[in-house]
Every structure is written in structure tokens, then in C-alpha cells.
Amino acid sequence: MAAPQPAMMLPRELAHDTIALHYKPTAKIHYTFAAGNAPAEQPRRLVVFLNGLMTDKSTWLPVMAGIIRNHRDNGFPSLLAYDRYGQGLTEDRDPLDSGAEKGRGHNVADAVHDLHQLVNQVWADKIGNSEAGIRLILVANSIGCAIARLYAQRYPGRVEALLLLDPMIANSKFDWWPNPDSKDFDPGEIPVDVTVDVLREQRTKFATFFAPDVINKEGLDRRDLAELLPYSDRPVLEAPQGLRPILTVVGHDPEQFAAESLKSMGTPISLSMKYTNPLWHRYNQGLLQITDPHLAVGPVVANNCGHFVQRDDPSFVIDQLSSLLGRLVLQPSGVDI
């Protein structure tokens, strides 16, 4: 992991507030917003930062601050980060959870719907009156990347660009390693430093922590996520004006991820290097196909970063987002569908 970031003063443009979605008036969402100052000849855009399950919007604040400071003179788009219900500074639970079994009240599709409503309200209140001209840039980490993809699929013509940071393998049950209890299991295929007992223990541990049916603090139900996003490489997304979105896919540093997995889960480094990292890389390669080839960049390796790239190295994310914004200015139209 990169060195801890020093405490920093946030730029004056960043403001914190709460908002209640019109169809969920009893619950408030905490968000951070900065109004853009892009040149008048450029379309108005909104960058939305999407959290994973184990981080909150505070991890995006250094990135937002860096974008403002680096682009204050030549213009930056509006910026929005928020904590979903039951996450970070949003203490209110999703009203859909009321009366439901714990952890089963709302799913990723509901989170996408909430994102859509949030964008509409923030855009109307702070950017422009018409929803017709909304142009979004989605910057996401972990399961936030699944939310970003599903949003772009369900609301075609809105998402102009995506920066996906170590996307969660959405179609996985976190069953990444050989099953020692399978009749086809060959103990000779596993790394020499991994015993069958260790392999079985790791499979059980990962299922306990990460399987889709495991209840999380946020209460976001992931059991149907593989059905919502069954493939990494399709469908192809549609950007504004019937075009394709610009895309950057970033993956974790394999060695850093393996070291962190050893520390946090006791996972032998050889298991991560032989199975987990190659599987994740193939998934990221598939994601490059959700737009046209010349509009896709990656998978870019975030050196010295584990899964939470924006936390480990916000400067790297600032650079990647700045590059993506530059590509939008130089090549805003993509390719006709």
C-alpha cells in the first residue's frame, strides 16, 4: 500500500450537505459537491464517485480536491460523492429495508435507481434545469463499478465516460480456487506450499466473508448481482448522442494484493498469484469490450495499490481521471453506433 496521505485542507469549492430523494423522503443521503467551472463552450458534466462496500466517500475527497486544484484555472466539471444508505455519514437506512429480512431489503438495482434519482435532483438544483442534457462521468471502485455499469446499461445516453478502479468480479461467487472435495480435484495442480487443508480453509473463509449471500453492514443484497451482470464483456454501452463511452479500467498491483490478502485473510501468496490475480485480470480485460476498442484504455496496473486504489494512491487516481477528462475534450464524440 502507498504511504498514508497527510491531512489536507479541502478546497473552498467542496461543500457537504444532505438530500432526501423525492420517493424516499424520510431518509437523507450525505453528499459532497463542487460546482464545476468548465469553459462555456464545453458541455456541462458531472463526475460521480461510487463507493465500494468497505469504503465511504471520504476516500474520494483527496481525489476531488486534487482535480479542483489541478484544473481550477482551465476548468473542471462538477463533482459529486455520496454515501449510500447505511454507509459512512449516511446514517439513515434504506426505507426499502423496513419490514424486510435483515440484509435483504434492497439490491444493486435499487442502488442504481437511487443513483439515478440523486443525479436528477442534484443536477436540477445545482447545475441545470433540464435533465435532457445530463452528461455523466462515473468513477468507481469495487462494487461501485458494478453500480456504474448497470447504471450505464439501464440509462443509455447518459454516461459519457467511466473510470473503473479494481472492479469487483460481479459474476463471481468468490469460488476462485480448486475444490478439494470435487471428484476432479488434482492435488498436484495446487502450489507446492499449499496443503489441501489450507486450501479448504481458505475456501471456507472467503465464502464466509465475501460470498454473495453474506450480509454486509450497508444491507446491500448481492445475491442476484451475477444475474444482473452475467458477463464482463457485454453489453456494449451507449453514451450521449448515440455514441460510445470513453473507458479506463484499472487493476490492483498483483504483488501488493497478494501481500494484503496474506495479511488480512492468511491467504498464501501463491494462491493469489496462481488463481486470483489472473482471474481478475481476465475479467478486467473483458470490461474493455463494453465500448469501442479505440475508446478503451487498460487494464492499467495501479502500482503499489491493493483493492482500494483511491485510498492507497489518490494521486494516481487524480492522474487517471485527468487523463480521461482530457480525452473527453480532445475526442468528445466517440464513435457512431
Q: How confident is the model at residue 113 (pLDDT cuts 50, 70, 90)?
A: very high
Q: What is the pTM of this model?
A: 0.95
DSSP classification of residue 307: S
80-94, 121-135, 157-171, range with the lowest pLDDT? 121-135
One-letter amino acid at 155 equals Y
Q: Which of 126, 101, 105, 130 is nearest to 48 (CA)?
A: 126
Distances (CA, A) of 272 to 176, 189, 193, 267: 10, 14, 12, 7
Q: What pLDDT is attached to residue 333?
A: 46
- Characterize 53-69 residue by residue with b for buried, 16 or more Cβ atoms within 10 angstroms of its Cβ, and e for exposed: bbbbbebbbbbbbbbbe
63-108: per-residue pLDDT in tens? 999 999 999 999 999 999 999 999 999 999 999 999 999 999 999 9
Q: Which of 60, 101, 107 is nearest to 85 (CA)?
A: 107
Largest Cα–Cα distance in the chain?
Answer: 65
196-215: per-residue pLDDT in tens? 999 999 999 999 999 999 99
Residue 4, pLDDT above cutoff 90: no
Residue 331, pLDDT above cutoff 90: no
